[in-house]
Amino acid sequence: MAASNDTAHDGLVTFLPHRLNRQPVVVRGLTADELWICAGLSAVAGFVVGVPLAWATHSIAMVPTVVVAGVALGVFAGGGFLRRQKRGRPDTWLYRQLQWRLALRHPLMASWLGEHGLITRSGRWTTRRTTRRSRGRGAA
C-alpha cells in the first residue's frame, strides 16, 4: 500500500493541526465568547438609552427596539474595532489585556475575582548584583 501524505517514512505524523483548540470566528472576527460580551454590553447600553426614550415618547415599544438596534450596531462596530485590536496578537491577548486593566484600575475587584496571580509591577528589573572592584585580591 502507498503511504499517506500525512505520515513520514518512519511513521511519524507530519501534519499536526495547531489551530485545533482555538475558538472559531463566528461574526466579524469575534469568537463566540467575544460576541456574547459585545452583544451583552450593547444590549445594556441600548436599554439605558431606550428607557428614557420610551418615557419621552410614551411608547414602551421603544425599549426593545433600541435594544435590538444597539445590539446590531454594537456587534457591527465592536466587531470591527476588536478585529483591528486583535490583529497580529496571540489568541489570549484580549483576555490578558482585560485582566491587566482590571488589576491596575480596580485591585480589590481583581483580588475578589481571583486575578491576584497577574504581575502588574512596572519599572526596571534588577538582579540585585553590585559591581565590585577587586582590590588586590589575587589581582596582579
Calculate mean pLDDT across residues 129-140.
60
Q: 51 falls in which pLDDT band (50, 70, 90)? A: very high
Q: 54 falls in which pLDDT band (50, 70, 90)? A: very high
Q: 20 falls in which pLDDT band (50, 70, 90)? A: low
> What pLDDT shows up at residue 5?
59
Indicate the SS3 state at residue 61: coil
> What pLDDT shows up at residue 69?
96
- For the whole model, what pTM was predicted? 0.61
Helix (H) or strand (E) holding 57: helix 32-57
Q: 6 falls in which pLDDT band (50, 70, 90)? A: low
> DSSP assignment, residue 3?
P
Q: Cell numbers of 24, please? A: 472559531
Is the C-alpha dihedral spanning 7, 8, 10, 16 positive or negative? negative
Is 9's pLDDT higher than 70?
no
Q: Where do the domains of the chain lie?
A: 25-89
pLDDT tens for 68-127 read 999 999 999 988 888 888 888 887 788 888 888 887 787 777 767 766 666 667 778 777
Between the CA of residue 136 and those of 44, 122, 130, 139, what are the distances in Å?
A: 74, 39, 18, 5
Q: Average model confidence (pLDDT) for the chain?
A: 79
Select from 33, 19, 21, 22 the least CA-distant residue to 95: 33
